[in-house]
């Protein structure tokens, strides 16, 4: 079977990023955290944040849009990894409550919202011609469908969400991306620039993550 290989996973006709992600969260990931922790006293807090973001968080965020709709167990693994990273930066004990660090000190989104952020970012780029054509083809406005162009959702700028018969199909970008996009407020979707969109989107997801239960 033909395969496409990247630095994170090998795609061979089925979702496999979850397996690669589970491997990432084992020895290599926590080994990197231990190395940073061993020299933490010699680093300023800002330097520690830069190190953790560069060597730890960036790896967790890489291709994480492929985790859309994944099981709660894997999302919890990612969240525990973020919690450990926050404790390394601030020197907290593993029993300390980590939410104040993530929310008030680091301003990090939770693992679930990080996946949604990446999905919506890809859709914004696709709609505005900043993504490859194969992604643009998967993000079709409802106004392009004659029988649905008069709907109120079409006037809002919603995208077409294909119907699927299997739960696994809901994880495909053509379904997960438009679904996440359609849930966003209008002012975020109509952002004038990529930077403005990212700022508005993070604020929206940050509020959802920590202040809306």
What distance in Å separates the CA atoms of residue 113 and residue 131, rounded to the nearest whole number?
Answer: 21
Least confident of 48-62, 93-107, 143-157, 158-172: 143-157
Domain hosting residue 137, numbered range: 114-210
Element (H, E) at 10: strand 10-11
Same domain flag for 101 and 28: yes
Same domain flag for 167 and 90: no
More confident residue, 85 or 18: 85
Question: Quick one: tokens of 32?
Answer: 């990197």
Q: Interior CA angle at 11 toward 8 and 13, to 5°?
A: 160
Query: Which positions ≥6 away from 32 have C-beta within 8 Å?
Result: 55, 56
**In this predicted model, what pLDDT tens digit does every residue of 111-125 receive, in sequence order?**
999 999 999 999 999
The stretch 59-69 carries a mean pLDDT of: 84
The stretch 166-193 carries a mean pLDDT of: 89
Among 79, 108, 137, residue at a domain's last position? 108
Query: Which positions ≥6 away from 163 have C-beta within 8 Å?
Result: none
What distance in Å separates the CA atoms of residue 2 and residue 6, rounded to the nearest whole number?
Answer: 14
| pLDDT score of 66 more than 90 | no
Same domain flag for 124 and 94: no
Position 148 confidence tier, pLDDT thresholds 50, 70, 90: low
More confident residue, 142 or 132: 132
Position 1 confidence tier, pLDDT thresholds 50, 70, 90: very low
Among 93, 108, 123, residue at a domain's last position? 108
Phi-psi region of 120 (alpha: psi -120 to 50; beta: other; left: phi over 0): alpha
Position 202 confidence tier, pLDDT thresholds 50, 70, 90: very high
Same domain flag for 192 and 165: yes
């Amino acid at each position: 079977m033909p395969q496409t290989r990247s630095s994170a996973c090998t795609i061979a006709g089925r979702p496999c990023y979850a397996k690669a992600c589970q491997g990432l969260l084992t020895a290599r990931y926590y080994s990197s955290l231990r190395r940073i922790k061993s020299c933490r006293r010699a680093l300023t807090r800002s330097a520690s944040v830069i190190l953790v973001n560069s060597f730890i968080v960036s790896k967790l965020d890489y291709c994480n849009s492929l985790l859309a709709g994944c099981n709660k167990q894997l999302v919890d693994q990612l969240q525990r990894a973020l919690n450990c990273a926050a404790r390394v930066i601030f020197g907290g004990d593993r029993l300390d409550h980590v939410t104040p660090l993530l929310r008030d000190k680091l301003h990090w989104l939770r693992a679930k919202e990080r996946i949604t952020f990446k999905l919506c970012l890809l859709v914004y780029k696709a709609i505005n011609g900043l993504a490859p054509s194969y992604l643009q083809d998967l993000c079709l406005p409802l106004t392009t469908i004659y029988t649905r162009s008069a709907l109120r959702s079409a006037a809002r700028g919603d995208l077409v969400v294909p119907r699927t018969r299997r739960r696994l199909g809901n994880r495909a970008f053509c379904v997960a991306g438009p679904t996440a996009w359609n849930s966003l407020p209008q002012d975020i979707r109509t952002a004038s620039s990529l930077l403005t969109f990212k700022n508005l989107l993070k604020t929206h997801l940050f509020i959802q993550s920590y202040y809306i239960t």
